[in-house]
Structure 1
Amino acid sequence: MDVIIRSGNDGFMTTPPRIITPPCAAPGAPSPLTATGRPLRWGVVSTGKVAAKVSGDIALLEDSVLQAVSSRVAENALAFRDQFGFATAYFDNDGGKGYEQLFADPDVDIVYVATPHGQHYEIARSALEAGKNVLCEKSLTINAREALELAELARSNSLFLMEAVWTRFLPIVHRAWEILHSGELGVIQWLQADIGFPALYDPAARLWNPTAGGGALLDLTVYPLTWALGTLGFPQTITAVGHVNDDGVDAQNALTLTYSSGAQAQLTSSLLASSPRTATVCGSNGWLRTNSPLHNPTELIIREHNSTPRIETFEPVGQNYVYELRDVTRCIQQGLLESPTMPLDDTLNTMRLFDGVRAQLGVSYVNDRAVPVAD
């Protein structure tokens, strides 16, 4: 069954204007490490691999302070504090959960949440209720209902909230979209993007654990989808097929997006197979392709019809999370409650899209069956 994407004000997605280029990704912009205002004091919830990469990049910003980190386990929190130079470490004890203690710290301006997906809603909600700005890893939540509740909570309390889709902030990605929207390659007709790797099966690991929101869709599909959204916008219809394992998570999925223009996009995500991890966009006068990985490429290959390909290269800065972090920092310094590059409406539309895909695949999570608690 296709998911039909209706337009209008009925709660479904509409095709947005072109994704806005953040100032730090514009041609000729200063280094993303350069300060744009007052120092921002960061709290990090998690001591995992992604949290480590992002914390390393936070430390590179001239106007950042690594204020606090939290973990359930004291040993992990203390080791992470010492490794990156955080001022304070919090962990679960008689005083409460580590992240709750971090949220009570008056010296924390913004919280970065990098826990498994299934915990995002609870932790981000707690941070917002404590009056903290929040940058939360993708996917923001398990479903659209949870995402909408967080968005409404942030908006009602005048707090910044953003889903950490870092690929949206990279200069090379915006350069690609500039070429694709310029008409150089003609009318865009077709897009293919894939991401896949053979993940070691462990039912307790976050990638495979349904309680943690495991599966390819919530962990990987946002990356190929980002290329479709930046090139063609939100689709008119979506058809999804995939393999759901015995634990109830999607080990692999393939999405076909169709547009009123006649354009199509094929997106594939897999925890079973190694893929090229590239994006290819084809127009009536040529094509553009990234090198691998599509979520953090360093090269664009552009070929107009019957001409010699040209290659444009971009050097990373740190782990390249710095562009996302720079824009979040700038937004909060300037009093913005959302990033124009990653607005909450785009997150809500994406979560609605993913809810529809999961309905086609037959994937559901504990969070889907949770009954909201009345205030």
Structure 2
Amino acid sequence: MPPAPSTAPADPPAPAALSAPAERDDPTAATGRPVRWGVVATGSIAGRVVEDLALLDDAVLTAVSSRSATSAAAFAGRFGAVRGYHDHGGTTGWERLVADPDVEVVYVATPHAQHRAVAGAALAAGKHVLCEKPLTMNAREARELRELARDRGLFLMEAVWTRFLPSFGRVLDVVRSGAIGRVRWLQADLGAPVPFDRASRIWDPAAGGGALLDLAVYPLTWALAALGAPDGITARGVLHEDGVDLHNGLTLSYADGAHAHLTTSIEADCPGTVTLSGTDGWLRTGAPLYNPGELVVRSGRAAPRTERFQPVGHGFAHELREVTRCLQAGLTESPRMPLADTVLVLELLDEARRQMGLRYRSDAP
């Protein structure tokens, strides 16, 4: 099990020979009783996640919701959901879904700015929640949801699917083994040009648009996993005239001298990889870094070796398996994606936005 990113790892042991990638459990195989899911929103990300949900032997898609009756019915029909809810009579589709007694856990796939309201309503209605990243627009809102979940004794997790991929676990195996020595430097980037469209949420500061909130969770995930919580962060960014950040650079610094350079952009095309440089070797992921299909590792003076990973569906099945296992075991937090890590990432993003002069509508005055 990967160590919690919020805890700085101890010095690794002396370098050891790399072993073959560890065998991972089949994420589609049932681990217990059937779990009944409701899905809020019917966009492209929801569609890909639900396609992978259908691979799980113990997952049951019970209900979906959308603003329109047409979208709700089409999505429900496409994926075999029993019910499709939509906005009606002054009540939103998601409000009707979270009131459904047959729904056990709600997957929230709405735009960022709606996460706090939808996830909060689901928890208030007694539902467990898996919410797309970022969990909320800021750390304050994330703490509010965490407290609500704890008060109600309910499961809550941010959907950072990368954390559950076999390739991610393998990287941490390599780091823990000492095969590349102590990690001293990490570089990660993610981005692509996004055509300007004032009607799009990516260009809307009120909706948390821009590169930082949409993309930076992935480079941060890798940095915190490899190096732990930083002792300092420095952020620089370029803002569009409408207020969103076009691109940004974050530097994480550590008391022992290690550092990480992270870049995200909606203006420039980036390689989308991660490089970890250690005292006795290096490791580089393939692209995209949020779902790498291969790793290249050089240990000591040995020639670099490549390890490849076969995808399961779109890659979300591992994350969905974790939620399912936790619910079947009666857990209210994932030990592999604890809420402390989610809050830490949002605290770092809050500080980055402060340094960049980037504000969202949800920010406290």
Q: TM-score, structure 1 length as denominator?
A: 0.91
Deviations 1:282-302 (A, max 9, x none): 011111001110110011101
Residue 221 of structure 2 corresponds to residue 221 of structure 1: no
Counterpart CA distance in 1 for 2:229 and 2:165 is 20
Equivalence for 1:96: 91
Counterpart CA distance in 1 for 2:157 and 2:149 is 10
Residue 64 of structure 2 corresponds to residue 69 of structure 1: yes
Residue 334 of structure 2 corresponds to residue 339 of structure 1: yes
Aligned residue identity for 2:242: D
Displacement of 1:181 in angstroms is 2.0
Aligned residue identity for 2:194: A
Counterpart CA distance in 2 for 1:250 and 1:342 is 27
Deviations 1:61-114 (A, max 9, x none): 000001111011111111111111111100001161100100111110000001
Equivalence for 2:100: 105
Equivalence for 1:299: 294
Counterpart CA distance in 1 for 2:81 and 2:239 is 41
| Equivalence map 1:106-255=2 (5 Å) | 106-255=101-250
Q: Which runs of 5+ in 1 are unaligned?
A: 1-13, 19-25, 371-375
Displacement of 1:306 in angstroms is 3.5
Counterpart CA distance in 2 for 1:354 and 1:168 is 18
Equivalence for 1:276: 271
Counterpart CA distance in 1 for 2:236 and 2:300 is 33
Kindly indicate whether the alpha-carbon contact (under 8 Å) linking 1:181 and 1:231 is maintained by their aligned counterparts in 2. no
Counterpart CA distance in 1 for 2:277 and 2:319 is 28
Residue 285 of structure 2 corresponds to residue 290 of structure 1: yes
- Of 147-156 and 345-354, deviating more is 345-354
Equivalence for 1:330: 325
What is the identity percentage for the equivalent residue pairs of Structure 1 and Structure 2? 55
Residue 11 of structure 2 corresponds to residue 16 of structure 1: no
SS of corresponding position for 1:163? strand
1:307–1:27 CA distance, 2 compared to 1 (3 A): closer
Counterpart CA distance in 2 for 1:152 and 1:217 is 25
Counterpart CA distance in 2 for 1:304 and 1:36 is 37
Deviations 1:179-205 (A, max 9, x none): 112111112110000001111211221
Counterpart CA distance in 2 for 1:52 and 1:196 is 22
Counterpart CA distance in 2 for 1:148 and 1:247 is 29
| Equivalence map 1:247-266=2 (5 Å) | 247-266=242-261
Counterpart CA distance in 1 for 2:119 and 2:6 is 27
Counterpart CA distance in 2 for 1:101 and 1:339 is 27
Kindly indicate whether the alpha-carbon contact (under 8 Å) linking 1:95 and 1:101 is maintained by their aligned counterparts in 2. no
Kindly indicate whether the alpha-carbon contact (under 8 Å) linking 1:47 and 1:80 is maintained by their aligned counterparts in 2. yes
- Of 77-86 and 150-159, deviating more is 77-86
SS of corresponding position for 1:189? strand
Deviations 1:346-368 (A, max 9, x none): 11111111110000111111111
- Of 224-233 and 205-214, deviating more is 205-214
Counterpart CA distance in 2 for 1:109 and 1:95 is 24
Displacement of 1:17 in angstroms is 5.2
Equivalence for 1:59: 54
Aligned residue identity for 1:254: G
Displacement of 1:29 in angstroms is 3.7
1:312 paired residue among 300, 307, 328: 307
Kindly indicate whether the alpha-carbon contact (under 8 Å) linking 2:179 and 2:300 is maintained by their aligned counterparts in 1. no
Q: Which runs of 5+ in 2 are unaligned?
A: 10-20
Q: TM-score, structure 2 length as denominator?
A: 0.94
Counterpart CA distance in 2 for 1:241 and 1:293 is 23
1:88–1:226 CA distance, 2 compared to 1 (3 A): same
Kindly indicate whether the alpha-carbon contact (under 8 Å) linking 1:68 and 1:108 is maintained by their aligned counterparts in 2. yes
SS of corresponding position for 1:207? helix
Aligned residue identity for 1:187: R
Counterpart CA distance in 1 for 2:196 and 2:90 is 36
Deviations 1:149-175 (A, max 9, x none): 100000000000000000001111111
Deviations 1:268-287 (A, max 9, x none): 00001111100000011111
Aligned residue identity for 2:167: I
SS of corresponding position for 2:283? strand
Displacement of 1:248 in angstroms is 1.2
Displacement of 1:255 in angstroms is 0.4
Counterpart CA distance in 2 for 1:85 and 1:251 is 40
Kindly indicate whether the alpha-carbon contact (under 8 Å) linking 1:255 and 1:267 is maintained by their aligned counterparts in 2. yes
1:350 paired residue among 340, 345, 348: 345
